[in-house]
Amino acid sequence: MEINNNIPQATAKRLPLYYRFLNNLHLQGKTRVSSKELSEAVKVDSATIRRDFSYFGALGRKGYGYNVEYLLEFFRKTLNQDNESNVALIGVGNLGTAFLHYNFSKSNNTKIAKAYDANPDLIGKEVGHVMVEDVEKLDQSLSESDIDVAILTVPGHVAQSVTDVIVKAGVKGILNFTPARLTVPADVRVHHIDLTVELQSLLYFVEHYPLEKK
Amino acid sequence: MEINNNIPQATAKRLPLYYRFLNNLHLQGKTRVSSKELSEAVKVDSATIRRDFSYFGALGRKGYGYNVEYLLEFFRKTLNQDNESNVALIGVGNLGTAFLHYNFSKSNNTKIAKAYDANPDLIGKEVGHVMVEDVEKLDQSLSESDIDVAILTVPGHVAQSVTDVIVKAGVKGILNFTPARLTVPADVRVHHIDLTVELQSLLYFVEHYPLEKK
């Protein structure tokens, strides 16, 4: 099947969610799922689910729902679950350590294959089964790998200089967990997750826009 | 000044970003800023910035830009920077520990005031200056506090049961870092940050929609 090449960003962002839920259903031995069940499980309204799926062709049938195995196979291909994707992690502080212990590969083939830090006490040690390498050798080590996505968990004041190095080493995607806003060339994607902003934004909504009990 | 009560969610989400940057400018002794400078610093296009600001009334002047101190005062009030906001953290694993060490209050008055875990080795110990309390006493301890926002960093399989307890204790906002999709009453907000999804989504974009060098 041909995948529509113009998937909206919002749709693409939900694909891993769908994939994980379908994988769970499959593990439970379920063979089909309705868009209503799917909607309740992933907290996305069924109209949106149907629209999302339409970008991949009509996969559902009225009164039957969706075939789990078929969907799973489809999403697995789409999300490239069959190829192992290796990513690098820069900065093995508290947050970096959390990521290294977090098992990304439990439900998919993505894993942190390389980790870097400047702390001599950490270099050469294993954290979550990954050997921490010297951040000074980042440039050469990354250039020699096939890694093109990095998780950035360094202190904010070195975020831009580390970014310049990893971009030079060929990284095309950065998951930025530092408070710094990064400047990168046009061919590099940055997804920024700013924990302070996320928390402040939630507090702001809770205080200014209280929801009503139904 | 009266704040427009219908600020779009996307605008509200950018407020803490604006606030932090303006605070930095202020610390550097700058008294005014153009929307172009602001745009470059926070990586939001200037048309969006001007539209965002318009929800708060016309704060800029042509050829002069924005008055930093005025803006700062305005945002400080808007984001409730003058009141201290206490939040609770449930689950002092790797990620929870990272949060406790992460200094939320560096640029604002938000802080994690309470932390809970089930691990007897952690209960009664201080992590990042917060005493870890027994998660068994979560219900009573939270009910007696004025906390209405919680950060959830527990294992996924207990996320819903912990959520039920904190909602009962009066929590109205949850920053969910677990892979679980939570079911909550209509008056509770959940912001979900799923690290696996964020990473997979970035990988998906990098692999399927490579950006071009300008």
DSSP-assigned letters across all residues of chain A: -PPPTT--HHHHHHHHHHHHHHHHHHHTT--EE-HHHHHHHHT--HHHHHHHHHTT----BTTTBEEHHHHHHHHHHHTTTTS-EEEEEE--SHHHHHHHHS-GGGSSSEEEEEEEES-TTTTT-EETTEEEEEGGGHHHHHHTS---EEEE-S-GGGHHHHHHHHHHTT--EEEE-SSPPPP--TT-EEEE--HHHHHHHHHHHHHHSPPPP-
The whole-angstrom separation of Cα B214 and Cα B205 is 18
Residue that wins the pLDDT comparison between A168 and B36: A168
Min Cα distance B19 → chain A (Å) is 10
Cα B59 off chain centre by: 25
Which of B10-14, B26-30, B183-187 is the least confident region? B26-30
Q: Which residues contact A95 (CB under 8 A, 6 or more apart)?
A: A153, A177, B95, B98, B102
B206 within domain boundaries: no
Residues A31 and A72 grouped into a single domain:
yes
Q: How many CB atoms lie within 10 A of CB B210?
A: 13
Q: Residue A189: which of A159, A150, A160 has the closest Cα? A: A150
Residue B133: helix, strand or coil by DSSP? strand
**CATH number reported for the structural domain that contains residue A186 in this entry:** 3.40.50.720
- Quick check: is A55 in a domain? yes
Whether A70 and A110 map to the same domain: the answer is: no
pLDDT value at position A123? 97
Show the tokens assigned to A131: 């050997």
B208 pLDDT above the threshold of 50: yes
pLDDT over 90 (residue A15): no
Which of B24-28, B62-66, B124-128 shows the highest mean pLDDT?
B124-128
pLDDT over 50 (residue B2): no
Residues of A in contact with B148 (CB under 8 A): 206
Contact A12 B201 (CB under 8 A): yes
Q: What is each CA distance from B47 to A197, A202, B35, B36, B55, in whole angstroms?
A: 21, 25, 9, 9, 13
What percentage of chain B reaches a pLDDT higher than 90? 35
At B33, the pLDDT band (50, 70, 90 cuts) reads confident
Q: Over the stretch A71-97, which tens digit does the pLDDT of each residue have?
A: 877 776 776 655 678 899 999 998 999
Is A210 domain-assigned?
Answer: no
CATH number at residue A48: 1.10.10.10
- Bridge pairing between strands B66-67 and B32-33: antiparallel
Residue whose token pair is 């969910």: B176
The tokens describing B151, both together, are 């950060």
The C-alpha atoms of residue A15 and residue B181 are separated, in whole angstroms, by: 15
Over residues B4-10, the mean pLDDT reads 64
Flag whether A33 is in a domain.
yes
pLDDT (0 to 100) of residue A80: 60
pLDDT band (50, 70, 90) for residue A171:
very high
Q: Is residue A101 predicted with pLDDT exceeding 90?
A: no
* pLDDT at residue A139, as a whole number: 93
- Residue A117 is predicted with a pLDDT of 97
Q: Do residues A105 and A67 share a domain?
A: no
Q: A180-194, B10-24, B157-171: which range is least confident on average?
A: B10-24
Domain region containing A37: 9-78
Q: What would the two tokens of residue A139 be?
A: 């440039």
Average pLDDT, integer, range B93-114: 80
Structure tokens, A49: 């689910």
What would the 3-class secondary structure string for B18-37 be?
Answer: HHHHHHHHHHCCCCEECHHH
Distance from CA of B60 to the nearest CA of A (A): 23
Quick one: A193 and A157 in the same domain? yes
- Residue pair A22/A37 in contact by the 8 Å Cβ criterion: no
The shortest CB-CB distance from B198 to any of A15, A191, A206 is to A191
Percent helix, strand, coil in chain B, to 5, is 45, 20, 40
State how far residue B206 is from chain A, nearest Cα, in angstroms: 6
Q: What is the pTM of this model?
A: 0.71
Indicate if A96 and A113 belong to the same structural domain.
Answer: yes
Nearest to A101 among B80, B94, B200 (CB): B94
Tell me which chain A residue has its CA closest to the CA of residue B197.
Answer: A16
Cα–Cα distance, B24 to A89 (Å, whole number): 28
pLDDT at B1: 33
What's the rounded Cα separation, in Å, for the pair A27 and A2?
27
Task: Tally the domains of chain A.
Answer: 2
Binding residue positions of B for NAD(+) = 91-96
pLDDT at A173: 93
Question: What is the reported pLDDT for A206?
Answer: 82
Residues B130 and B181 in one domain: yes
Residue B204 in any domain: the answer is no
Where does the pLDDT of residue B30 fall: very low under 50, low under 70, confident under 90, or very high at 90 and above? confident
Q: pLDDT at position B118, please?
A: 96
Residue of A9, A80, A87 lying closest to B199 (CB–CB): A87
A96 annotated as ligand-binding: yes
Name which residue leads in pLDDT, A23 or B108.
A23
Cα B61 to Cα B84: distance, rounded to the nearest angstrom: 32
Are B181 and B99 contained in the same domain? yes
Question: Is B204 within 8 Å of A80 (Cβ atoms)?
Answer: yes
Is A160 in contact with A180 (CB distance < 8 Å)? yes
Is residue A187 located within the same domain as residue A129? yes
**Whether residue A74 sits in one domain with residue A126:** no
Give the amino acid at B51. Answer: R
Residue A46 and residue A67 in one domain: yes
Number of residues that this document lists for chain A: 214
- pLDDT attached to residue A67: 83
Model pLDDT, residue B130: 94
Whether residues A90 and A183 fall in one domain: yes
* pLDDT of amino acid A108: 62
In-domain check, residue B153: yes
pLDDT greater than 80 at residue B177:
yes
With bands split at pLDDT 50, 70 and 90, how would you rate the model's confidence at B37? confident
A53 pLDDT more than 70? yes
Model confidence over B109-140: pLDDT tens digits? 788 999 999 999 999 999 988 999 999 999 99
Q: Judge whether A42 and A17 are in contact, CB under 8 Å.
A: yes
Task: Please give the pLDDT value at position A131.
Answer: 95
Q: So what's the pLDDT on residue B10?
A: 75
Q: Is residue B105 part of a domain?
A: yes
Query: Tokens at residue B86, please?
Result: 């206490």
Q: Is the pLDDT of residue B107 over 70?
A: no
- Global ipTM: 0.70
- A67 with A110, same domain: the answer is no
